[in-house]
Chain A
Amino acid sequence: MSNEPRQQIHDSTAPSTDTRDARIGEGLDNRFNSKLREAFGASPFILTKFDQFMNWVRGNSMFMLQFGIACCSIEMMSTYAIKHDIDRFGAGVPRASPRQADVMIVPGTIVSKFGPRMKRVYDQMPEPKFVVGMGSCTISGGPFQEGYNVVKGAEEIIPVDIHVPGCPPRPEALVYGVLKLQERIKNSESSPVVVKPYELEQFGDLPQDELVQKLASEIDEDDLVMRYNWADSP
Chain B
Amino acid sequence: MSTDIEPPRTAETTEDELEALIGDRAIARDDHLNAPGFVINPDDVQDVLADLRDEAGFDHLSCLTAQQYEDRYESIYHMKKYVDPTQEVSVVVPTTLDEPTSQSAEPVFRTADWHEREAFDLVGIDYEGHPDPRRILLPETWQGHPLSLDYDQTKPQVVTLSEYENPIQPDHIDSESDTMFLNVGPHHPATHGVLHIKTVLDGETVLDVDPDIGYLHRCEEQMCQQGTYRHQIMPYPDRWDYVSSGLLNEWAYARVAEDLADIEVPEYAQVIRTMGAELCRIASHMLALGTFALDVYGDFTAVFQYAFRDREVIQDILEDLTGQRLMFNYFRLGGVAWDLPEPREEFIAQTRDFLDELPAKVDEYNDLLTTNEIFQIRCVDTGILEPEVAKEYGCTGPVARGSGIDYDLRRDDPYGYYENLEWDVVTEDGCDNYSRVLVRMREVEESAKIIEQCLDLIEEWPEDEREVQANVPRTLKPDPDTEVYRAVEGAKGELGIYIRSDGTDKPGRFKIRSPCYHNLSVLEQMVQGEYIPDLVASLGSLDIVLGEVDR
Whether both chains belong to one complex is answered with: yes
Chain A residues with a Cβ under 8 A of chain B: 66-71, 73-75, 77-78, 81-83, 96, 98, 108-109, 111-117, 119-121, 143-144, 146-150, 167-168, 170, 200, 203, 206, 211-212, 214-215, 218-220, 223-231
- The answer to whether A71 and B239 touch (CB under 8 A), given A116-B159, A231-B156, is yes
Mark B284-309 against chain A: 1 for CB-CB distance below 8 A, else 0: 00010000000000000000111011
From the candidates B140, B218, B326, name the one contacting A74 in the complex (CB within 8 A). Answer: B326
- For B158, give its contact among A83, A149, A170, A227 (CB under 8 Å): A227
Contact B242 A71 (CB under 8 A): yes
Q: Give B458-494 as 1s and 0s: 1 = Cβ < 8 Å from A's Cβ atoms.
A: 0000000000000000000000000000000000000
Which chain B residues numbered 297 to 350 have a C-beta less than 8 Å away from chain A? Answer: 304-306, 308-309, 311-312, 315, 325-327
Q: What's the Cα separation between A170 and B141 when bound, in Å?
A: 37
User: Which residues of chain A are near B194, meaning CB under 8 Å?
Assistant: 68-69, 114, 117
Q: Which residues of A contact B186 (CB under 8 A)?
A: 114, 117
**Chain B residues with CB below 8 A from A68, complex form:** 192-194
Given contacts A71-B327, A74-B244, A211-B158, contact A66 B547 (CB under 8 A): no
A173 to B214, CA, bound (A): 29
Q: Does B97 contact A (CB under 8 A)?
A: no
Q: A71-B326, A83-B309 are in contact. Are A230 and B159 (CB under 8 A)?
A: no
**New A-B pairs, 7, CB < 8 Å, besides A81-B308, A225-B159:** A74-B244, A82-B306, A113-B159, A117-B186, A143-B235, A168-B326, A226-B160
Q: With A81-B305, A226-B161 in contact, is A108–B216 under 8 Å at CB?
A: yes
Cross-chain pairs A/B with CB under 8 angstroms, 12 sampled = A74-B242, A82-B306, A83-B309, A113-B139, A113-B215, A144-B220, A147-B218, A148-B146, A170-B325, A211-B143, A218-B141, A228-B157
Chain B min CB distance to A220 (Å): 8
Given the complex, which residues of B lie within 8 Å of A113, measured CB to CB? 138-139, 159, 214-215, 217
Number of A-B contacts (CB under 8 A): 166
Closest CB in chain A relative to B122 CB, distance in Å: 10
Hey, which chain A residues are within 8 Å of B311, CB to CB? 78
B371 interface residue per 8 A CB criterion: no
Query: Is B312 touching A228 in the complex (CB atoms < 8 A)?
Result: no
Please determine whether B216 and A215 come into contact, CB atoms closer than 8 angstroms.
no
Contact A66 B193 (CB under 8 A): no
A215 with B158, Cβ < 8 A, contacts A111-B218, A147-B218 known = yes
Of the candidates A96, A150, A203, A225, which one forms a contact with B219 in the assembled complex, judged by CB atoms under 8 Å apart? A150
Min CB distance B535 to A, Å, is 17
Q: Is the CB of A224 within 8 A of B156?
A: no
With a cutoff of 8 Å between Cβ atoms, the chain B residues found around residue A214 in the complex are: 143
Assembly CA distance A83 to B186 (angstroms): 29
Docked complex Cα distance between A143 and B547 (Å): 14
CB neighbours (8 Å) of A203 from chain B are: 158, 160
The 4 A-B residue pairs with the shortest CB-CB distance in the complex, in nearest-first order: A147-B219, A71-B242, A81-B308, A116-B161
Interface string of B216-238 (1 = CB under 8 A from A): 11111011001000000001100
Cβ-defined contact, B161 with A144, below 8 A: no
Please give the distance in Å from A217's CB to the nearest CB on chain B. Answer: 11
User: Min CB distance, B207 to chain A, in Å?
Assistant: 25
Complexed CA–CA distance, A214 and B215 (Å): 24
Measured CB to CB, the nearest residue on chain B to A114 is B215
Who on chain B is nearest to A147 by CB?
B219
CB of B282, distance to nearest CB on chain A (Å): 15
How far is B326's CA from A30's CA once the two chains are assembled, in angstroms? 51
Q: What separation, in Å, do the CA atoms of A203 and B222 have in the docked complex?
A: 30
A150 surroundings in chain B (CB, below 8 A): 218-219
A67-B187 CB under 8 A given contacts A74-B287, A148-B151, A225-B158: yes
